[in-house]
Structure 1
Amino acid sequence: MRVSEKFQLGVTQASLDFVDVDVQGDVPVFVDPKAIRLQQGAWAETCQALIQSFFEELLKAIKSSNKSRIESLVLHLGEPNETHLGMSGGESRGRGLGSGKKSQELVDALADNVAGKSGLLQDLDETTLFVEGVGRDIISDITTNIIRGPLITYTQNVCKFYDIPTYQQHAGHVWDDRTKSWVEIDAKLPRADSDKLLLVPRSIVRIRPLTDKGRYYRGYIRPYFEQIELSSPTSELIRTLKNGTRKVQLTELDKLVDQSKSGIVKHTQRWPGAIDSYRKNATAKSNPPLDHEDFEDDLGAEKVDFRELLDSVKAISPGRPGATSYHRAIAELLKALFDASLGNQVLEAKVHRGRKRLDIQYDNTAGFGFFHWLGRHYKAATVVVECKNYANDLANAELDQISSRFAPARGQFGLLVCRSFEDKALFLERCRDTAKDERGYIIVLDDSDLELLVDHAEETRGYLPEKRAEFPLLRERFQDLIA
């Protein structure tokens, strides 16, 4: 049973920012620290700071051979079964770090790790390359534990928006980057089958994490060995094609090369350019967030019906009584439409110490397309959305409201979503004035614009993600703002 079914949310995975996990089993995706590090935006940056703080402490302990400190850091990195992520099969119980023997093996591997002592190991995700026993399941466990605090906050926000009941309970240990230690806390969290539940944003999970030993070996280490064989006139691994081209028999080569973690460390020390290239090529585009088609094709999620989501918006009568329903319907439609481009959704986000709030706030998680372009050229690490279920035209007050939510740390771009206009051209001109006055870039979307976005989503279904993320309507509107 999925979270959406358990709590009768009435929406499918495509409209949910979090992974709609099986509350009695696991979904085979993994939290990826590299994916977090490549993101921009407020929530991701909070997670990045925690991961970096923990890793720096771990690296100091490794370099100083401080095994007791390593043990204190690893002690609370148990299997976070409350996320229901991983490869357990059947009832959720995890294959990850756990306690006892596995934890001690990890401590021993870290304490003696050559890559950590030499400075070769530079990021938490690289432990999957250089540390024995660390794979995608364990790195996912470690990362989840480190960012448990932000995940609790994220879960609470989702529960508040969807009226999911929460209960004060033991929440586990969180990493405190001020004291550089683990702190045990209680928190209000939902429950599923008598166990606590922790929701995880789609943006930070992957089926196949970006940092992978096999990919690193095949793409960056093996070419050096190929070159050695090609330069040898007597190599037994070379076969010559009919056109005279000499090729290395890779299957035979792989049998001879040490591909253990210690072997990978030695090869990398021999050819440091390999890891330099690997790091350089690790971009958001090379392994973007999972979109709705990934969840549908690979994870069995229900196929999204964009038209039904739009109809839910249109069915709400304009006016104050429908404001809450409109807000929720817009959040569900926009998440499905913008998919992997916008993530880490915060609903009714508080700003200015709670004196103001944003209807919806997203981190810009795009690896390509319109939002990726926007984030590269303008301040758009965070995208804010205001929802106005008005029966009459918007005016300057609504523009002033959303522009007052902009800030250098949050970004200068937002979407103002409303029902309809009698004089749309006038309001678009006001949006241009706001941009020219350097008060921010605001794109207004009414029901007819949402219809066009739905048309684009339906027309590009099954296309490459890059095509689906173009959003020509948004690009056209933005060009009007800066023309």
Structure 2
Amino acid sequence: MPFVTDYYGITGPVLFANVDVASDNFRFLDPHAVRLTGAMQPFASEALHCVDTFLGEIVRCVISPVPGDHRRGEALLKRFREPWETRLGMSAKGYHGHGGGEDVGSWIWTAMSTDLVALVHVGVLEHLEDLPMFIDGIDRDITSDVTTRIMFAPLARFTESMLLKHPEFTSNGHKAKTVISQVWDPSTLEWTEEQFTLPVADGKPLLLVPAAWTRRNLLMSATRFYEKTVLDFAQIERAVRGSDGKLIKTPKDELAKIKGLGRGRNTNVRLTLEAFEKNENLIEYFKAFVALKFERPEEDDAVAA
């Protein structure tokens, strides 16, 4: 099937990710990409307000001593129905993949209230994009699904703005459709429903995503965090000073073979806490590194119009 611009006959550059309208596209909505492009992108502040208030409420529920808050936190996380309208993701056939759902919500809640509870309590786990670095099973596909669901309202408003900008969406036999969708309300801190007008492609509503918000790989993946920041910290901690006064560091590939320093999210959690006890915030170090290396989507193999 054709890409969005081919399907609707849109010419010239477009702001949205130009995806195949009938299939998952192996591109993913990355919340950290939204954060890094925020000032330059329409609807970014609204989208970030959604994800930040959502995670903030989950964190509040995790640290609360009230059992009812614990039930509320897990219940909020169990509302991640797969937002297939974007055609982002990596399903083998079409765009109806495994999605998020109740199981994913339970994974996140269990991790945050057990393995990650120390990170939550000390306040270093601040943003939604931090979670893939520390929770097994939460990688680019599920992160994209979860982020899309929480940001659905601003994404839908972005899509409605594209309907106005590009009349091709509703010409030459193409139509738009009114849909009612689950959205996160950052003012009430509750899931609710809202009505939007979306274009229809291949018989299904289409939710457009700003191209600058999509990536092929997460900017803040567990692997990248481990290889760059976690092992950097381990190197410094275990370095010795030679007779010439210079620090001698163990190569990273050798460090990775040491018990307790092997690749994995458990190592990420443990060394992040170890660093925090020494007044070092590995998450902030990593974010600074990611920002320095950040590339725009057109340099990240984005599909052009």
Fold match (TM-score > 0.5): yes
Instruction: Name the residue aligned to 1:144.
Output: 148
**1:89 shift after superposition:** 3.6
TM-score, normalised relative to structure 1: 0.54
**1:249 shift after superposition:** 4.5
Verify: 1:277 aligned to 2:285, yes or no.
Answer: yes
Aligned-partner SS, 1:266: helix
Alpha-carbon distance in 2 for matches of 1:182, 1:290:
31
Q: 1:62-112 deviations in whole A, cap 9, x for unaligned?
A: 212633112232122222111011222431123542x24333323322332
Instruction: Name the residue aligned to 1:57.
Output: 57
Contact between 1:106 and 1:133, CA under 8 Å: does it hold in 2? Answer: no
Which of 94, 97, 101 does residue 94 from structure 1 map onto? 97
Verify: 1:47 aligned to 2:47, yes or no.
Answer: yes
Aligned-partner SS, 2:293: coil
**1:43 shift after superposition:** 2.0
Contact between 2:58 and 2:73, CA under 8 Å: does it hold in 1? Answer: yes
Aligned-partner SS, 1:54: helix
**1:229 shift after superposition:** 4.8
Paired residue type of 2:250: V
Verify: 1:209 aligned to 2:209, yes or no.
Answer: no
Alpha-carbon distance in 1 for matches of 2:94, 2:209:
19
Verify: 1:177 aligned to 2:186, yes or no.
Answer: yes
Residues 68-83 of structure 1 mapped to structure 2, 5 A cutoff: 68-83=71-86
Aligned-partner SS, 2:96: coil
Q: 1:16-39 deviations in whole A, cap 9, x for unaligned?
A: 110111111122221121122232
Q: 1:366-389 deviations in whole A, cap 9, x for unaligned?
A: xxxxxxxxxxxxxxxxxxxxxxxx
Instruction: Name the residue aligned to 1:30.
Output: 28
Aligned-partner SS, 1:132: coil
Q: 1:36-77 deviations in whole A, cap 9, x for unaligned?
A: 223215522122222221121111012126331122321222
Alpha-carbon distance in 2 for matches of 1:228, 1:153:
48
Aligned-partner SS, 1:131: coil
Instruction: Name the residue aligned to 2:172.
Output: none
Aligned-partner SS, 2:125: coil
Aligned-partner SS, 1:48: helix
Q: Between Structure 1 and Structure 2, whose CA radius of gyration is higher?
A: 1
Shift in CA distance, 255/36, structure 1 to aligned 2, threshold 3 Å: same
**1:228 shift after superposition:** 4.9
**1:252 shift after superposition:** 3.5
Shift in CA distance, 275/77, structure 1 to aligned 2, threshold 3 Å: same
Alpha-carbon distance in 2 for matches of 1:208, 1:153:
25
TM-score, normalised relative to structure 2: 0.82
Alpha-carbon distance in 1 for matches of 2:294, 2:251:
29
Aligned-partner SS, 2:17: coil
- Poorly superposed stretches of 4+, deviation over 4 Å: none
Aligned-partner SS, 2:43: helix
**1:121 shift after superposition:** 0.7
Residues 357-376 of structure 1 mapped to structure 2, 5 A cutoff: none
Shift in CA distance, 267/55, structure 1 to aligned 2, threshold 3 Å: same
Aligned-partner SS, 2:80: coil
Instruction: Name the residue aligned to 1:368.
Output: none
Paired residue type of 2:35: R
Aligned-partner SS, 1:199: coil
Verify: 1:161 aligned to 2:162, yes or no.
Answer: no
Structure 1 gaps of 5+ residues are: 234-244, 305-483
Instruction: Name the residue aligned to 1:223.
Output: 232
Aligned-partner SS, 2:256: helix
Instruction: Name the residue aligned to 1:377.
Output: none
Alpha-carbon distance in 2 for matches of 1:156, 1:206:
22
Paired residue type of 1:29: R
Shift in CA distance, 127/133, structure 1 to aligned 2, threshold 3 Å: same
Contact between 1:61 and 1:70, CA under 8 Å: does it hold in 2? Answer: yes
Give me the CA root mean square deviation: 2.6
**1:226 shift after superposition:** 2.7
Structure 2 gaps of 5+ residues are: 170-174
Shift in CA distance, 253/52, structure 1 to aligned 2, threshold 3 Å: same
Aligned-partner SS, 1:175: strand
Contact between 1:168 and 1:186, CA under 8 Å: does it hold in 2? Answer: yes
Identity between Structure 1 and Structure 2 (%): 27
Alpha-carbon distance in 2 for matches of 1:100, 1:56:
20
Q: 1:223-243 deviations in whole A, cap 9, x for unaligned?
A: 23334554299xxxxxxxxxx
Q: Which has the higher contact order (CA 8 A, sep 6+)?
A: 2
Residues 417-456 of structure 1 mapped to structure 2, 5 A cutoff: none
Instruction: Name the residue aligned to 2:124.
Output: 120
**1:246 shift after superposition:** 6.1
Shift in CA distance, 226/161, structure 1 to aligned 2, threshold 3 Å: closer
